[in-house]
Homo-oligomer: A and B are copies of this chain.
């Protein structure tokens, strides 16, 4: 057993539940044996923008549309998101193209608002230690996408999930999105070993965000393939029709064309390696 294998987290641990959690949203299933791709812009910028992206990513095989309406920005002078207006556009675009929608909530005061518009509620890296938000998220009847904190250990991350589950919500998707290290070439260091490590420690699904994980557009497809190969249950990827014109995260955003090629290759991998992740060790 692993170092973390004590009873500190009771509900999210493999000991508590050996079967993997499968999260069903309509006809979509997120969890072991499935590979769910969530794609879309960093920020919802306009109705036109989000509809255009929804169309592209849907055509390429994504099943969840991402788009930020409340944006956690380092500077108060940067674009803070369209708020409720952005959520409306996101919902409409998702509906139009048969996608699920995911968006971030940053404050307990906005939880019910965001919950009304999306299918999956994201708690971002900067709020992974926001225990008030975690507790309230545990009372919502929608799946929670819980991103790893900038410098959170696996233990702390799983404990954050435990807060949510202990408060009543068992539908949690963990998202590895890179950690803060001394390396400055990449925005973060994408810790792909988190995927198999967490699969040992928890029954919850784990997806990977190669966009924030690298911060560099040209590295996104390669890291997405690696995320598939390592056994992740899905991806979250930033896509924009004109990546350089993105209002936020431009450097790490890929175009619909690159996204399409990337998805094609992932489908090839899927066709071959389905059901082959288990390996005796």
Q: Which residues of A contact B (CB under 8 A)?
A: 2-4, 8-10, 72-77, 106-110, 125-127, 129-133, 135, 149-151, 153-156, 159, 162-163, 166-167, 179-186, 189-193, 195-197, 200, 213-214, 216-223, 225-231, 254, 257-258, 261-262, 265, 268-269, 272, 276-277, 279-281
Contacts and interface: CB of A to CB of B under 8 A. Distances in A.
Nearest to A262: B279
A109 B190 CA distance: 34
A133 to B, nearest CB: 8
Nearest to A127: B130
Contacts of A110: 132
A172 to B, nearest CB: 13
B155 A185 contact: yes
A277 B77 CA distance: 34
Given A190-B193, A276-B265, A132 B106 contact: yes
Contacts of A108: 107-109
Given A153-B182, A185-B197, 13 more contacts: A73-B131, A76-B159, A107-B132, A127-B129, A154-B183, A154-B185, A180-B182, A186-B193, A193-B214, A196-B219, A221-B281, A229-B230, A254-B281
Nearest to A266: B229
The list of the 6 closest CB pairs from A to B, nearest first, reads A126-B129, A107-B132, A151-B151, A229-B229, A226-B226, A226-B230
B268 A272 contact: yes
Given A73-B131, A218-B200, A279-B258, A223 B193 contact: yes
Nearest to A281: B218
Contact of A192 (B75, B156, B181, B192): B192
A213 B193 contact: yes
A214 B10 CA distance: 25
B3 A185 contact: yes
Contact of A162 (B76, B162, B223): B76
7 contacts: A10-B77, A76-B163, A108-B109, A109-B132, A126-B131, A151-B180, A220-B281
Contact of A193 (B189, B196, B231): B189
Given A183-B154, A254-B281, A219 B197 contact: yes
